[in-house]
């Protein structure tokens, strides 16, 4: 006899389960509820008895009527065969236009421990936010419907979370011991993207985009309101926020076989990811993301001492980060210069564009490149001093060009400015590096990191929200 079905679970945004994320209409057919009634959790220990499953595994799908049935049955059979924790499988259909939703409902009606949820809008991040926010499980997880990851990695993924040893767990195709079968193009793109994250956002995890992740539910419920992306960058944003909040991220090397029928559009996804990196980087640099408060409430360790020039983040990594920030600053500078040249002369356009980008450059480099907790007035004064030197170099280069060739075309003008900016950038790196070393008392953070120790919140934990642009850091 099958266990009775518990009450239908609502998706955030509507009390009766008929609305999805952000309150949009949850289904194109109002006759069908957003959440197909779930059965009691099934699996190893206390199968069919627990009111709260140990693990909820979310499978987000969009137009996957071919793979959905075999994959859900294979996953459920694997869990029943030897998974030692109670589980629930939740299929989240986000805006499918084929037979995916009817099939998901059939699976939920037929298979104990399987539930189906429908959202009216696309987005893997949107699907995970909806299911994880409403989950009653102790641990929430997700995997791609194609089951590219060998399921034998599931227990090593969730066990450290259930034991309390870790807060977040990710499958990694780039960790030592992983065995991966995929084409060279996707391999190069994946490695370049994760390298970019290490350089720009200073992450320590190795693989942001593997579709095989889990986290403790209470942690997910705290972090999800701060994650803005609803598509592919959702994973990266959540992981960066978790790491900066002092949470422990456990990595599992996986056996992974690329799906030749992958629907991911590489170029649009890459552009969206780069925008996401810039947005999160600015949120961290400006203090809009409240990582200090989260670290104090959730983190396992006190904030590490700032890493300054000469320490574990040595010259090579600092140069790489500084170069990445410099490229972004130069692009922003040139874009501002070109726009301002429509309304003013070259010297004023150069002054305004250089001033705006110099302030932003100093703030971002102080935090991301040189590891300063805050840049402060002294850092900005140092940046303004270097700004004066950069202004002298670029203005002098423009004056020399006008003297040598008064009718030089705009392309030559831009080329001269790029060359002058390269020289100014090298000077800025040397000057800022020297200032941040002095500001830290000349200490190099080369000593071993202290072991992580728990930090218990004092009293009730208040919700943390993103800061508005006008609030202090």
Per-position pLDDT tens, the chain of length 473: 333 333 334 333 333 333 333 333 344 333 333 555 544 444 444 344 447 899 999 999 999 999 999 999 999 999 999 999 999 999 999 999 999 999 999 999 999 999 999 999 999 999 999 999 999 999 999 999 999 999 999 999 999 999 999 999 999 999 999 999 988 888 888 888 888 888 788 899 999 989 999 999 999 999 999 999 999 899 999 999 999 999 999 999 999 998 766 666 667 777 888 889 889 988 888 888 998 899 988 877 554 444 444 444 567 777 777 878 878 877 888 888 888 888 888 888 887 887 777 777 777 777 777 766 555 555 666 666 766 777 787 788 888 888 888 888 878 888 887 888 777 777 777 777 777 666 655 443 333 333 333 433 333 334 444 544 445 43
pLDDT of residue 222: 94
DSSP assigned state of 231: S
Q: Which of 150, 139, 125, 119 is nearest to 239 (CA)?
A: 125
Q: List the structure tokens of 362.
A: 């100093």
169: region left, alpha or beta (phi > 0 left; psi from -120 to 50 alpha): beta
- Are 329 and 360 in contact by the 8 Å Cβ rule? The answer is yes
d(CA 109, CA 105): 6
Q: Which of 167, 207, 235, 273 is catalytic?
A: 235
Instruction: Please write the tens of the pLDDT for every residue from 417-452.
Output: 788 877 777 777 777 777 766 665 544 333 333 333
Q: Are 68 and 111 in contact (CB under 8 A)?
A: no
CA 292 to centroid of chain Cα atoms? 17
| CB contact at 8 A, 284 and 467 | no
Output DSSP code: residue 227: -
Q: What is the pLDDT of residue 351?
A: 79
pLDDT at residue 448 in the model: 36
Domains located in the chain, CATH noted: 21-298 (3.90.550.10), 315-439 (no CATH)
Count of residues making up the chain? 473
Q: CA-CA distance, 455 to 470, in Å (whole number)? A: 30
DSSP 25: B
Is 29 an active-site residue? no
pLDDT of residue 253: 96
Helices (H), 152-255: 154-163, 184-200, 217-223, 234-244
Long-range contacts of residues 100-105, Cβ cutoff 8 Å, at least 24 apart = 100/61, 100/62, 100/63, 100/64, 100/65, 100/68, 101/27, 101/32, 103/65, 103/68, 103/69, 104/36, 104/61, 104/68, 105/32, 105/36
pLDDT in tens, 388-402: 777 787 788 888 888
């Amino acid at each position: 006899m099958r266990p009775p079905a518990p009450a239908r679970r609502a998706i955030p945004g509507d009390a009766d389960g008929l609305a999805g994320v952000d309150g949009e209409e949850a289904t194109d057919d109002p006759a069908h509820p957003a959440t197909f009634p779930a059965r009691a959790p099934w699996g190893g220990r206390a199968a069919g008895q627990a009111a709260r499953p140990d693990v909820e595994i979310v499978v987000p799908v969009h137009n996957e009527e071919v793979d959905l049935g075999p994959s859900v049955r294979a996953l459920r059979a694997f869990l029943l065969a030897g998974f030692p924790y109670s589980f629930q499988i939740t299929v989240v259909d986000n805006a499918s236009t084929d037979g995916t939703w009817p099939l998901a409902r059939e699976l939920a009606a037929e298979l104990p421990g399987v539930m189906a949820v429908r959202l009216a809008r696309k987005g893997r991040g949107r699907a995970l936010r909806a299911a994880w926010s409403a989950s009653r499980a102790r641990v929430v997880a997700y995997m791609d419907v194609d089951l590219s990851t060998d399921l034998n990695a599931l227990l090593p993924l969730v066990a450290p979370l259930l034991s309390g040893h870790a807060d977040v767990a990710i499958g990694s195709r780039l960790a030592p011991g992983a065995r991966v079968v995929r084409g060279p193009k996707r391999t190069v793109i994946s490695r370049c993207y994760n390298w970019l994250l290490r350089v720009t956002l200073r992450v320590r995890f190795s693989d942001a985009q593997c579709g095989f992740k889990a986290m403790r539910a209470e942690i997910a419920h705290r972090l999800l309101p701060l994650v803005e992306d609803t598509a592919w960058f959702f994973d990266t944003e959540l992981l960066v926020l978790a790491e900066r909040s002092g949470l422990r991220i456990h990595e599992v090397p996986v056996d992974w076989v690329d799906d030749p029928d992958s629907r991911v559009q590489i170029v649009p996804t890459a552009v969206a990811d780069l925008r996401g990196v810039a947005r999160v980087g600015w949120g961290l640099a400006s203090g809009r993301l409240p990582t200090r408060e989260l670290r104090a409430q959730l983190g396992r360790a006190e904030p590490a001492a700032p890493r300054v020039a000469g320490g574990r983040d040595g010259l090579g990594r600092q140069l790489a980060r500084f170069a990445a920030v410099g490229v972004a600053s130069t692009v922003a500078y040139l874009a501002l210069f070109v726009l301002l040249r429509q309304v003013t002369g070259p010297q004023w356009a150069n002054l305004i564009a250089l001033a705006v980008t110099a302030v932003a450059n100093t703030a971002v480099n102080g935090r991301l490149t040189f590891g300063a907790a805050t840049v402060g007035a002294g850092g900005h004064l140092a940046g303004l001093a270097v700004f004066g030197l950069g202004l002298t170099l670029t203005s002098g280069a423009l004056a020399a060009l006008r003297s040598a060739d008064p009718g030089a075309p705009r392309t030559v003008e831009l080329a001269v400015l790029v060359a002058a900016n390269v020289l100014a950038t090298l000077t800025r790196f040397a000057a800022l590096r020297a200032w941040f070393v002095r500001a830290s008392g000349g200490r190099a953070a080369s000593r071993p990191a202290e072991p992580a120790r728990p930090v218990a919140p004092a009293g009730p934990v208040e919700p943390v929200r993103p800061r508005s642009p006008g609030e202090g850091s």
